[in-house]
Each structure stands twice: as C-alpha cells, then as structure tokens.
Amino acid sequence: DVKVTQSSRYLVKRTGEKVFLECVQDMDHENMFWYRQDPGLGLRLIYFSYDVKMKEKGDIPEGYSVSREKKERFSLILESASTNQTSMYLCASSPQLSKQPQHFGDGTRLSIL
Amino acid sequence: DQQVKQNSPSLSVQEGRISILNCDYTNSMFDYFLWYKKYPAEGPTFLISISSIKDKNEDGRFTVFLNKSAKHLSLHIVPSQPGDSAVYFCAASAVYQGAQKLVFGQGTRLTINP
C-alpha cells in the first residue's frame, strides 16, 4: 500500500512567520504534488514536482515555494504566512506511468492567526 | 474559469437506493478521469477511474460513466450504504511535463440515510 505521510495534522502559526510543511512518500514515486482544499473550491494545485530538484507551478503558487532535495520528500514553504493561507493542505504522489491515480496524505490543517 | 464542475454541493439518498453523482468538464484535452472519496480529517481516497477511450468502468458497487460528446461523467453507487456518506470529488487529468496533472471539481457531499 502507498503511504504518504504529512508531518503535522494540525498547525497554528502567526502572520509573517515562515512555515514549512513536510511530506514523505514510501513508494519511490517520481511525481509529488501540493494542494490546498477550501470549502466550495475543491482541491487546487499549488506546486508539483516530477523529479528531484524539479518543480512546476500549479494554479495558485503565489505566496508559496517548494523544495525537493530527495525523491521521497517534498516540502511546501509559506515564505511569510498570511491569514488567507489558513486552509487544509494535502500532499499527493504518483508514479511516472501515465493514467495512474495520485495517492494522498491525511492533510495538515493550518491556521494562521 | 472552472474546468471541472460538480454542480450539486450535496445529495441525500436512502440506504439501498442508487446514488448518482455528476461532473462536467470543459477541456477536451483531458484524457483520464477519476473519482475520490473523502471523509472528514482524512485525505482523499482513490475510488475509481476511467480512460477517455472507454465509456464505462465498473468496480463492485461503483460504476463510472463517461460521455465525451457531452463532456460529462457520472458515478453510480448501487446499493448505497451508510459508509458511503462522504464528500466525493471528481478529477480530470492531462499530462504536463511528464506528470498526470489533476483538476478537481468542488465536491459533492453525499449523505446516505438509514
């Protein structure tokens, strides 16, 4: 079974702080993704990576950056947290093969005060 | 612009009856479609998928139908069970930079009543 592990289930930070969200997958998947989920908006793609040290912007990258130094780990960074970044953050991974589903972690509920 | 739309935010169905969840998309480049199920405080779980070269895929109680000319897909659950109560997301996919990039709908909250 694919295991995608997000380091924190709940996180509370203050406006202006630099925030790191960590994600690790154990299936040797090439692709990794970061989404945020907000009520009525579904899941929106922030960034994704198709290989180590490679990254591509998703649909809503503003205010975020990412890091992929090792194949199994993909980090999301909020450079200077703002209240509108309060959300549920979901990490996913998938193999390089086409037409394969993405597998998700359990999410990090982040509150910015 | 919303490329994938689920127009029903919620759906209530009697236990044992059929649940039908609908999804519309606009981009004809999408070639792979998926349904995910999400319980509160958990990540989405993959349920079933269909390639654009097919019009139907079945897995136990779950069937997905794809109508490419109408750019419409639906998920049928028969018979519906209380454990099916969850939020369901449809997603559409196209390959970008070697990765299968997903676009999600807004979700439909399904409630199965005993």
- Cα(B105)–Cα(B71) distance, integer angstroms: 14
Contacts of B49 (CB under 8 A, 6+ apart): A99, A101, B32, B33, B34, B35, B57, B64
Interface test with A, best of B57, B100, B103, B106 (most A CBs within 10 A): B100
Q: Do A31 and B89 touch (CB under 8 A)?
A: no
| Residue A84 phi, psi dihedral angles, 5° rounding | -75, 0
pLDDT at A95 over 80: yes
pLDDT tens profile B47-87: 999 999 999 999 999 999 999 999 999 999 999 999 999 99
Q: Which residues of A touch B93 (CB under 8 A)?
A: 99
- Looking at residue B95, its pLDDT comes to 80
Residue B62 class from Cβ within 10 Å (0-12 exposed, 13-18 middle, 19+ buried)?
Answer: middle
pLDDT band at A70 (very low <50, low <70, confident <90, very high): very high
CA nearest A33 in B: which residue? B101
Q: Do residues A50 and A90 lie in contact, with contact meaning Cβ atoms separated by under 8 Å?
A: no
Nearest to B97 among A4, A56, A101 (CB): A56
Say how many C-beta atoms besides its own lie within 10 A of residue A28's C-beta.
Answer: 9
